[in-house]
A and B are shown apart, each in its own frame.
Chain A
Amino acid sequence: MGLFDRVFNGADQMYRKAESEYEKTVAELGADAPLMMPDTAYFMACIYAYQARKITKLGDLREALDEIKAKMTHEQRTGDVFSSGIASVMAAEVIECCKYAGGRSPYEGTKYHGHFSDAEVRELGVPLVTQDIPGFVVIIDPAPSDEDAAALIKGYQNRGIFVFLIGGVIDQAIRMKIQMGFPVRVVPVGEDIWAVGHIISLVVRAAMIFGAVAPGDWDAFNEYSFHRIFAFVNVFPPLRDMTVACGAGAIAKGFPVITNVVENVWKVPKTIIIQENVADFIETSLEARDIKIKITDIDIPVAFSTAFEGEIIRKKDTRVDINGARVDCFEWVRTKEAHEIEDHSITLDGPDIEEFEPGATMGVGIMVDVAGKNMQSDFEPVFERKFHNFLNCVEGVMHTGQRDMIRVRVSNDAFDAGFRMKHIGEVLYAKVKSEYDTVVDKCQVTIVTDPAKLKELRAEANKSYDKRDMRLRSMTDENVEVFYSCILCQSFSPSHVCVVTPERLGLCGAVSWLDAKATNELDANGPCQVVTKKLLLDENIGSWEDVNEAVTQYSHGALERVTLYSILEDPMTSCGCFECICGIEPASNGVTIVNREHTGITPLGMTFSEMASMTGGGVQTPGFMGHGKHFIASKKFLKAEGGVARIVWMPKALKDIVRDRLNETARELYGIDDFCSMVADEGVSEDPETLLEFLSEKGHPVLAMEPLL
């Protein structure tokens, strides 16, 4: 018999049982006997939810049963299976509720809980909605052994998962002396499979209370539970057809079924999962329902707090010095497939700290492997850069640098308190899982200290860094689909909006396109939002209709138009935190750039702070613009005005920072070698006249360009 037929068969059995219970109860109490489930405003909740029918007396069930029967269609289609499954659950509710007819209390004094009150629905519903309870499991029938049952229940409890028990597993729990009851989050619901009626009653009431789903809206109930209620089912043998039918109901509601039964069961990815090893039930189940357990504690022997971020560990206090400048070291985030990762595994390959002399130099490679449905390899460098902050918060650990130029010191005190290499893994695991929980489902850390292996791995890591850098360099504004807005500084500059593109990083210098992208993916409502670029207005000045719309929206109407590549026409606004500011130098038709650190005057007759005061605050000031240091060498810098050839003056220190890349850009754009040597600095000139002399002497290309004004 195929799976579909098992469902239909089980549904029919459930219906017959419901009808006979109904008839038996009517014979006993009469059709007018009241049928009011205690402490609820939702009648018989499954029937109310799916049929919009308010049952108040026994006789009302007749029509409900007819409608249930009508839903148990037997075509060989998935829709029929789901419909029969839900109908089976309603039939189950009929069987259970008949026990309550006439005001009886069927479970009083028994080991079973039975019906849930509205108060209990709310009490469980609130933490389910907030995800303080990450989900719930329904365990049906006895596990292979009492010990298996106890381990399974406790395993779920330890992860904060609410547990409902049906059938023989309840007696196993009693034998294993597991404390049960609503407050301890393990509830023995009932003896027979139709006790699921009570659980689905709870689920549909949660949908009505928390999701305002209207009774009768069949699809909306299933959709709500699929998106908002993280439940799943664990079933052990014998797996009768009625259980299979209810399982179809669970699946219709988005709850996967995990079982160790292999015969007469058909695997359906993420829906019906056969896991023969009961010890792996929990991990399989959580993965099937996409449940992530929140990490709250970091298991290390020293304190973890931002208060330690600035701690400096001196040579004499250093137990071990991990120094990328002297030996092989690296930090490397790698994106993997979920099955390649054992979550929370922390492996040390090589000697630990105690095997080194106090104060010795040590080589360490840290590989953090992550997997997640929404993980992208572009996030790897974003995570890596945060390792610095994470590890610095550890009391007695000092961290600087990234990639293969890291330096980490562990203090004597931290070592004496028991801090070892694996604790670095614990910190990184806990922080990566909690800070990036929207993209990281699984994470494992491997720490290599074996010098032989380190050399090889470092080379491999370097290849990966190079690949990333290549990708970053190859990214242009043209070959990405979207830009990002950034409004991190609006608390200072209310109307400022940065539009961050691959070739134009945020003007603070701290937010690249990849950073903005990661920020957006990690915090969908955060400061960085997707800006589409479908409606090009003018390629030369970098103007898009959708970019303008985004700027209007995020500046709350203060700005209506910006161009991304022009300093003259609707230039991008500036907040207060730009690294540099550029301004038109009219005598040469060029542009001078000055960075924040430079306190002297520029040939414009203004200092950085004078220029900043008239440019900041989110207002457009044609001719002046704040920007990041690394925008200077971009091909998009001043593109509308002719590009980097407009640059006539920069402070020496700034020139040193951008020299290589700027020279390269000038070579590519104009075929000019050593362009920076033509750009004046404070050593040459601080006024327009001497500036012009210098430019003429060097034959600066700007002198041949069109006038700016």
Chain B
Amino acid sequence: MALKGLDIFKLTPKTNCKDCGNPTCMAFAMKVAQGAVELDKCPHMSEEAKAQLGDATAPPMKKFTIGAGDGVCALGGETVLFRHDKTFVSKNLYAINVCEGSYDEKLPEIQKVDYDRLGERMYVELLNLQFTGDAGKYAELVGKAQGAGRCLILECQDAAAARAALEICAASKPLLNGANAGNCAEFSALAKEFGVALGVSGASLDELYDTAAQLEKLGNKELVLDVGSASVKDAFAAAVQIRRAALRDNDRVFGYPSLINLAKLAPGDEYLQTALASLFTLKYGSIIVMEKMTYAQALPLYGLRQNIYTDPQKPMKVEPGIYPLNGADADALCVTTVDFALTYFVVSGELERSGVPLNLLISDAGGYSVLTAWAAGKLSASSIAKFIGEFEIENKISNRTLVIPGKVAVLKGEIEEKLPGWTVVVAPNEAVELVKFFKEYKAG
């Protein structure tokens, strides 16, 4: 159980000195409890208090970053097994597996998929550089890959080759995925020497556990647990049991992010890799290595990831503005709904299917659904009138008919009062009825 704000507050100096940037100690304590602020932001906290809180506020799963500069990626820090309990913290990352022979061919394909979805950049964050036996060629590959602008994973259990690779790319903070029961002392030292996170694997879950424990003892604080590639079933079992041990059973040895290599688990099977990537997005994959990432795979996989990692209390939002559909011009009918992403997607999808040119007007409704926004006062006659004014809709669009969601039919009169010259039309309650509604509306 995470520490409550009040327990933290009791240990603050209670001076409201504002040195932490918060107006009061209470505000600070509440933010620490939420994980929004680090405890050491308070310069006046006693050592005793810090020790007392440090343990209790220490996360059950380590959180750290790999990569450097623009390519820095966060891993770990999860506190719950199910997203309805609390928001998941670090979204799973995608890596594409490359080796010296395939790099030149794969890189342009990897770079092609790079787009924005609801303000989030969707691209392959990592390159998994697979060592195939030739240290010289591996170093060459690492050298080339360093310029690709992606964070690197060195999948290499050969200490010499790994050292050579690290000498080239240590500054970009790659993940060195190479430790196992046999080489752990050596790899521990390597990772420490170059200051990189260390990936560890084991022939069994027990072996992985022991090796991780050993590495921790040796002082490696940033580990990634490779679930192995013996079989899909074992990999899934490992991913679940690792996460569960850490978060439910407070077993800190397994309190690290995981790595799943689908290029090994389902080689050559694009659809199965898509299926498995989806599975591991829900159930506890931190880094997912794929053979490739086409648009066809990326569209569902990144969409799913964005869904799963949303904050249940902070819904996804779309930007307020005018969204012309079906070739709408200034004369086209205006339709409005809220900025909640799900509502926007569903409504715009149905409007597109109607084929009727429409100007979809999205106002800031706090990212809530229609009824919730209305109940919270975020969608009202004044909010719509304000939007029409601020976005100078009357200068941009000549049509003066506004279609509002059926669920807020109650706003019709008030909107007409606030927007002289406009006619307000009430749409059906459900989005699925929109196609018929607009087809009929257009017909007369």
Stretch at the interface among B19-27, B67-75, B227-235, B265-273: B19-27
Q: A613 to B313, Cβ gap below 8 A? A: yes
- The listed residue (A308, A576, A577, A586) touching B26 by CB distance below 8 A is A586
Q: Which residues from A are CB-within-8-Å of B375?
A: 577
Asked whether B410 is an interface residue with its Cβ less than 8 Å from the other chain, the reply is: yes
Nearest-neighbour CB distance to chain B for A319, whole angstroms, equals 17
Q: Can you name the residue of chain A whose Cβ is closest to the Cβ of B34? A: A614
> At the interface with chain A, which of B5-13, B136-144, B236-244, B327-335?
B5-13
**Smallest distance from the beta carbon of B135 to chain A beta carbons, Å?**
52
Q: In the assembly, what is the distance between CA of A113 and CA of B417, in Å?
A: 66
A308 to B426, CA, bound (A): 8
Binds B, one of A17-25, A34-42, A617-625: A617-625
- A601-633 Cβ-contact flags toward B at 8 Å (1 or 0): 101111000110110110001111000000000
Residue of chain A at shortest CB distance from B375? A577
B393 contacts chain A at the CB level, 8 A cutoff: no
Residues of A within 8 A of B16 (CB): 587, 605, 687-689
> A312: CB under 8 A from chain B?
yes
- Contact between chains at A688 and B417 (CB < 8 Å): no
| Least distance between B248 CB and chain A CB atoms (Å) | 14
Interchain CB contact (< 8 A) of A616 among B33, B313, B409, B411: B313
Q: Which residues of A contact B426 (CB under 8 A)?
A: 307, 310
The answer to whether B24 and A688 touch across the interface, beta carbons within 8 angstroms, is yes
Q: Are the CB atoms of A623 and B5 closer together than 8 Å? A: yes
The answer to whether the Cβ of B406 comes within 8 Å of any Cβ in the partner chain is: yes
Contact assessment for B406 and A605 in the assembled complex, using a CB-CB cutoff below 8 Å: no
Q: Are B409 and A605 in contact (CB under 8 A)?
A: no
- Decide if the interface of chain A is mainly helix, strand, loop or mixed: loop
Cross-chain contact A306 with B409 (CB below 8 angstroms): yes
B313: which A residues are within 8 A, CB to CB? 576, 613, 616-617
Contact (A605, B376) CB under 8 Å given A622-B4, A709-B10: no
A604 engages B406 (CB within 8 Å): no
Residues of A within 8 A of B413 (CB): 310-312, 398
A492 within 8 A of B: yes
- State whether A584 touches B26 (Cβ < 8 A): yes
The answer to whether A307 and B406 touch across the interface, beta carbons within 8 angstroms, is yes
Interface of chain B: mostly helix, strand, loop or mixed: helix
Residue in chain B with minimal CB distance to A392: B410
Chain B 373-408 interface mask (CB, 8 Å, partner A; 1/0): 001110000000000000000000000000000101
> Please, which residues of chain B bring their CB within 8 A of the CB of A568?
6
The answer to whether A610 and B4 touch across the interface, beta carbons within 8 angstroms, is: no
B411, A604: Cβ atoms closer than 8 Å:
no
B431 at the interface (CB under 8 A from A): no
Q: Is the CB–CB distance between B414 and A310 below 8 Å?
A: yes
Contact of A614 with B5 in the complex, beta carbons under 8 Å: yes
With both beta carbons as reference points, the residue of chain A lying nearest to B366 in the complex is identified as: A609
Contact A605 B22 (CB under 8 A): yes
| A596–B414 CA distance with the chains assembled, in angstroms | 22
CB distance from A606 to the nearest CB of B (A): 5
* Complex CA distance for A195 and B26, rounded to whole angstroms: 83
Tell whether A308 pairs with B409 under 8 Å between CB atoms, given A613-B313, A617-B313: yes
Contact assessment for A306 and B406 in the assembled complex, using a CB-CB cutoff below 8 Å: yes
B23 nearest CB across to chain A (Å): 3
Do B24 and A605 touch across chains, with their CB atoms under 8 A apart? yes
**When the two chains form their complex, are residues B414 and A604 in contact, meaning their CB atoms are under 8 A apart?**
no
Beta-carbon contact of A310 and B23 below 8 Å:
no
When distances are taken between beta carbons in the complex, the residues of chain A under 8 Å from B416 are 312
Alpha-carbon separation in the docked complex, A578 to B412 (Å): 26
B24 and A311 within 8 A (CB): no
A310 touches B5 (CB 8 A): no
B372 on interface, CB distance cutoff 8 Å:
yes
Say if the beta carbon of B30 comes within 8 Å of chain A: yes
Residue of B nearest to A689 (CB): B16
A372 within 8 A of B: no
- Say whether A604 contacts B27, CB under 8 Å: yes
Q: Is B312 an interface residue (CB 8 A)?
A: yes
The docked-state distance in angstroms from the alpha carbon of A610 to that of B26 is: 12
Contacting residues, chain B, for A310 (C-beta < 8 A): 408-414, 426
Cα A396 to Cα B8 with chains together (Å): 59
Task: A307-B409, A586-B14, A614-B34 are known; give 7 further A-B pairs, CB within 8 A.
Answer: A310-B426, A603-B24, A604-B26, A605-B26, A611-B30, A622-B6, A623-B5
Interface positions of A (Cβ within 8 A of B) = 306-312, 392, 398, 492, 494-495, 558, 568, 576-577, 583-587, 596-597, 601, 603-606, 610-611, 613-614, 616-617, 621-624, 687-689, 709
Could you pull out 24 A-B pairs where Cβ atoms are within 8 angstroms? A309-B409, A310-B412, A310-B414, A312-B412, A312-B413, A398-B413, A583-B26, A587-B14, A601-B23, A603-B24, A604-B24, A605-B16, A606-B24, A606-B30, A613-B313, A614-B33, A614-B34, A622-B4, A623-B9, A624-B30, A689-B16, A709-B6, A709-B9, A709-B10
List of 4 A-B pairs having minimum Cβ-Cβ separation, nearest first: A312-B413, A605-B23, A605-B24, A310-B412
